[in-house]
Amino acid sequence: MRALLGKAVAARRALALAALGVLFVVVYPQLATAGQLSFANTVVIAVVFATSTNLLFGQAGIPSFGQAGFFGAGAYAAALAAHEGLPVILCLLIGILAGALVGVVAAAVAWRSAGLAFSMLTLAFAQSLYTIAIRTDALGGYNGLAGFPFSRVLGIELSDPGYVWYFVAVFAAVIVAGFWQVSRSPFGQILRALRDDPVRTLFLGINVRAYRTLAFVLAAAGAGAAGALSAYVNQVVTPDSLYWTASAVPVMMLVLGGMGHFAGPAIGALLYAVLEHYLSAWTTSYIFFLGILVYLVLALLPDGVVSLPRTVRYWIRRGGGDPPKPDEVELRETEGAAR
């Protein structure tokens, strides 16, 4: 009975949050300037990028540092498709497909190793794509691609800032909802089992390599979607989107928001975007201060900002003391629910 009530409360909360989200998406263009809409688009794209990375790091326990390669592949593919005059929806789908295909190739290369070597191979793979981009004239070399027009959708000119916001928000919501379904599905449960105890999962007869490869490709497709949206919003694609440092950005977002929590990427992306926006206007050394903030979050909130309410409740109940470890708090909450 308690479990059913808990599910009902959770469903009501989800519906309330969804209603607030829809209201915000509809009303925001009426209140915001063009610059604020552009910033909001950047945040939404970052949410998609971080959510795809969370599938690897947070749910599957796959330490891939090559997400920038898939992001850039999606951006370049969408830009090239737009150059050919293809419909904007098709351009974005091509970007997703490009990210997935590059993910298949990267997985085939990287799965030849494990652990740190695997992480370094994914990073090297993304960097090799950067080298290809700067040395290929068709991709614009160091200058990248720019000036590619995206066509109308249902007769609506998508260059208007308000319509761009609506389109990006809806498209991103569909992608994030897809990852939400994956996380709740039996496939998502198996990924978490692989993360927590891969040896036991292997002895249960589950094809570990197949599940991890599929997770890798899905995350690559999500990163490709973020890249395609970035190309559409910014109307420019540069090799910097493929550079190895770009792969660290979604990981920092996960650390800030909360790795493994579905809301973590959204919270982390918003925090990172806001901090980068204001710190970069204040100093050119903003990356240094971002690093310090990430370190403080790791030290004080190992489970990210998403765990702040839970940590505060713990401090209040215990009357102070060190913050709890995420696994310990989760175990106590699970035992309490069972009783």
Which pLDDT belongs to residue 339? 43
Q: Give DSSP secondary structure letters for 282-336.
A: H-TTHHHHHHHHHHHHHHH-TT-GGGHHHHHHHHHHHTS-SPPPHHHHHHHHHHH
Model pLDDT, residue 337? 40
Which whole-number Å values give the CA distances from 38 to 22, 29, 126, 159, 223, in the listed order? 18, 11, 27, 12, 20
pLDDT at 72: 95
pLDDT at residue number 53: 94
d(CA 320, CA 297): 18
CA distance 247 to 242: 8
CA distance 133 to 37: 30
Percentage helix, strand, coil for the chain under 3-state DSSP, each rounded to 5: 80, 0, 20
In one-letter notation, the amino acid at residue 33 is T
**Residue 192's CB: how many other CB atoms inside 10 A?**
16
Contact 143, 135 (CB under 8 A): no
Q: Where are the beta strands (DSSP E) in the chain?
A: 145-146, 236-237
CA atoms 153, 155, 161, 165: torsion sign: negative
pLDDT reported for residue 320: 54
Q: Round to whole Å and give the CA distance between 238 and 250.
A: 18
pLDDT of residue 3: 56
Query: 10-residue block means of pLDDT along the chain (339 residues)?
Result: 58 72 81 87 95 91 91 95 88 96 91 82 91 92 84 66 88 93 90 85 82 93 96 92 90 90 90 90 85 87 84 72 49 41
- Burial call 7-19: b when 16+ CB within 10 Å, e when fewer: eeeeeeeeeeeee
- Residue partners of 194: CB distance under 8 A and separation at least 6: 60, 61, 201, 206, 208, 211, 212
Calculate the CA dihedral of residues 228, 233, 239, 245 and round it to 10 degrees. Answer: -90
Instruction: Write down the domain spans for the chain.
Output: 1-30, 32-243
pLDDT of residue 288: 87
Distance CA 12, CA 6 (A): 10
